[in-house]
């Protein structure tokens, strides 16, 4: 238990709003949706309990202290409580702002100092700096190209490092950077800006390649806007807003210059953050309206293909497939039906629904590094459900989920492979057609 230190209330405009906090009627309908409550069974680690703690500070009944920090940092930020809540409590927004208030208060949780130093470096130096980030990812990319070496390194590495090495996607070679513009096949239906991001661009370039092929096959000019970079989601989730705002502006500038109809993503966490740029920059006179307009153009690839009407000239793909809802797709963006509807159109595909598909896998940004024990417990339930399906492919739409589940499957020795939806669509298009 962390000792409570000095207490002060919220300060400045980036604070949990009273209106948002007051929406909570304390009905408790969110409790069973919450992974930390299901595991720990204590009220302060439930959504209702966390909203109560935040409201106590807003009402002046408590200060921003180590007790608040402890329970808000044990939260996964999965937002399952948001879709369970009948009163529309915007929990994700409240959490980001409360964490920002905690971070602004300085060191109130003494035993987290090491992590705190690393976090400052990651969010203020590493993620905002494209060159530095790419340099830091180079060893992982090198291992990715030589899967047997990655497996060997993971086998001999100690605990936490082994977990990190197991998370590196083993995809083999890609074809280098995508060109600025990839023309549509056939009649042009949209001009789609492809968001490359930081982790996706470094470790999931093969998914971007599938995304580009699937989009152009579906009549989209694919524009890989220059000067775009990380969306800032990880910063926001950790309560860092200054660099997150700068990253948001950089992306708004880049895609405005590119003149696209949509900004298309294959990463749920990035999509959720970018749809909310309007909220992040609402007080910025130069960017408020532009950020709002930008957010309205952001689409997960499953939304765009579903809205356009996907071309169905698939070959037969004889695979047993199940689907895991990424939290930031199902709960933050409310996109659930579209990926399933797209998979249902592939001939030969044997789809099986995953039990508790919209429950968090425990990845949650960097939660699997900061809270490894609780993250591992939450993952076990997910792996049990996947094992039940005996699927060839587990499809999911977020890099964090992809890496977390892949590492878990490997540890259990299960044969199921983790794929992004666009990889499965791409594979289906390349299969021979039944005559
Ligand atoms: S975001 Fe997830 S972990 Fe956090 S309170 Fe809501 S349901 Fe629980
Ligand atoms: S479901 Fe919504 S209103 Fe009910 S306790 Fe949870 S957050 Fe509050």
CATH match for 312-429 among 3.40.50, 1.10.150, 1.10.3470, 2.60.40: 3.40.50
Domain 181-306 and domain 312-429 have a common topology: yes
Q: Which protein residues are within 6 Å of ligand 2, measured from CB? A: 24-30, 47-48, 51, 81, 84-85, 87, 89
Stretch among 44-58, 126-140, 414-428 having the lowest mean pLDDT:
126-140
Query: For ligand 1, is residue 244 a contact (CB within 6 Å)?
Result: no
Strands 181-182 and 220-223, sheet pairing = antiparallel
- Mean pLDDT, the chain, as a whole number? 92
Tokens of 160: 């936490």
Closest CA to 422 of 345, 332, 365, 339: 339
Instruction: Tell me the fold of 181-306.
Output: Rossmann fold (3.40.50)
| Most ligand 2 atoms within 8 A of CB, residue of 19, 20, 30 to mutate | 30
- What pTM was computed for the model? 0.93
Are the beta carbons of 158 and 277 closer than 8 angstroms? no
Higher pLDDT, 367 or 381: 381
pLDDT for res 174:
66
Please report, rounded to a whole number, the percentage of residues in the chain having pLDDT higher than 70. 95
- Ligand number nearest CA of 45 is 1
Over residues 84-104, the pLDDT tens digits come to 999 999 999 999 999 999 988
Q: Which helix (H) or strand (E) holds 223?
A: strand 220-223
pLDDT for res 21:
98
pLDDT over 80 at 5, yes or no = no
- Ligand number nearest CA of 88 is 2
Over residues 235-289, the pLDDT tens digits come to 999 899 999 999 999 999 999 999 999 999 999 999 999 999 999 999 999 999 9
Task: Classify domain 18-108 at the CATH class level.
Answer: mainly alpha
Over residues 230-243, the pLDDT tens digits come to 999 999 998 999 99
pLDDT for res 120:
84
pLDDT for res 213:
97
Atom of ligand 2 nearest to the CA of 31: 6
How many A from CA of 412 to the centre of ligand 1?
27
- Ligand number nearest CA of 362 is 1
d(CA 31, CA 158): 36
Stretch among 10-19, 169-178, 180-189 having the lowest mean pLDDT:
169-178
Over residues 398-428, the pLDDT tens digits come to 999 999 999 999 889 999 999 999 999 999 9
Q: Across-strand partners of 395?
A: 323, 419
pLDDT over 70 at 375, yes or no = yes
| Most ligand 2 atoms within 8 A of CB, residue of 22, 23, 24 to mutate | 24
d(CA 422, CA 402): 13
Domain ranges in the chain are: 18-108, 114-167, 181-306, 312-429
């Amino acid at each position: 238990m962390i000792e409570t230190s000095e207490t002060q209330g919220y300060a400045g405009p980036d604070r949990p709003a009273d209106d948002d906090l007051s929406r909570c009627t304390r009905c408790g309908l969110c409790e069973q949706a919450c992974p930390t409550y299901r595991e720990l069974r204590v009220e302060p680690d439930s959504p209702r309990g966390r909203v109560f703690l935040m409201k106590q500070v807003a009402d002046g009944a408590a200060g921003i202290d180590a007790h608040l920090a402890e329970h808000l940092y044990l939260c996964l930020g999965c937002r399952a409580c948001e879709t369970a809540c009948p009163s529309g409590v915007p929990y994700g927004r409240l959490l980001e702002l409360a964490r920002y208030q905690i971070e602004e208060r300085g060191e109130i949780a003494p035993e987290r100092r090491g992590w705190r130093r690393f976090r400052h470096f990651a969010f203020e130096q590493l993620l905002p700096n494209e060159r530095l980030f790419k340099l830091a990812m180079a060893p992982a990319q090198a291992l990715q190209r030589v899967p047997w070496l990655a497996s060997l390194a993971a086998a001999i590495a100690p605990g936490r490092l082994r977990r990190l090495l197991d998370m590196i996607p083993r995809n083999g070679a890609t074809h280098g950077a995508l060109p600025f513009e990839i023309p549509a096949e056939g009649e042009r239906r949209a001009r789609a800006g492809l968001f490359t991001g930081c982790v996706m661009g470094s470790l999931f370039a093969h998914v971007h390649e599938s995304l580009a092929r699937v989009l152009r096959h579906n009549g989209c000019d694919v524009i890989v806007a220059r000067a775009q970079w990380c969306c800032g989601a990880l910063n926001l989730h950790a309560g860092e807003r200054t660099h997150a705002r700068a990253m948001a502006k950089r992306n708004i500038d880049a895609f405005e210059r590119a003149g696209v109809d949509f900004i298309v993503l294959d990463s749920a966490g990035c999509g959720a953050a970018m749809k909310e740029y309007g909220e992040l920059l609402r007080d910025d006179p130069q960017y408020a309206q532009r950020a709002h307009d930008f957010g309205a153009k952001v689409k997960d690839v499953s939304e765009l293909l579903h809205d356009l009407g996907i071309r169905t000239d698939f070959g037969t793909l004889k695979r047993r497939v199940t689907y895991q809802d990424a939290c930031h797709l199902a709960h933050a963006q409310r996109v659930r039906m579209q990926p399933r509807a797209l998979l249902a159109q592939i001939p030969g595909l044997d789809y099986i629904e995953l039990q508790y598909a919209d429950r968090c896998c425990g990845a949650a940004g960097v939660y699997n590094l900061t809270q490894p024990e609780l993250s591992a417990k939450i993952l076990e339930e997910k792996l049990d459900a996947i094992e039940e399906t005996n699927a060839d492919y587990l499809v999911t739409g977020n890099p964090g989920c992809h890496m977390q589940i892949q590492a878990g499957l490997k540890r259990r020795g299960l044969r199921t492979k983790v794929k992004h939806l666009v990889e499965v669509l791409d594979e289906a298009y390349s299969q021979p057609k039944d005559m």
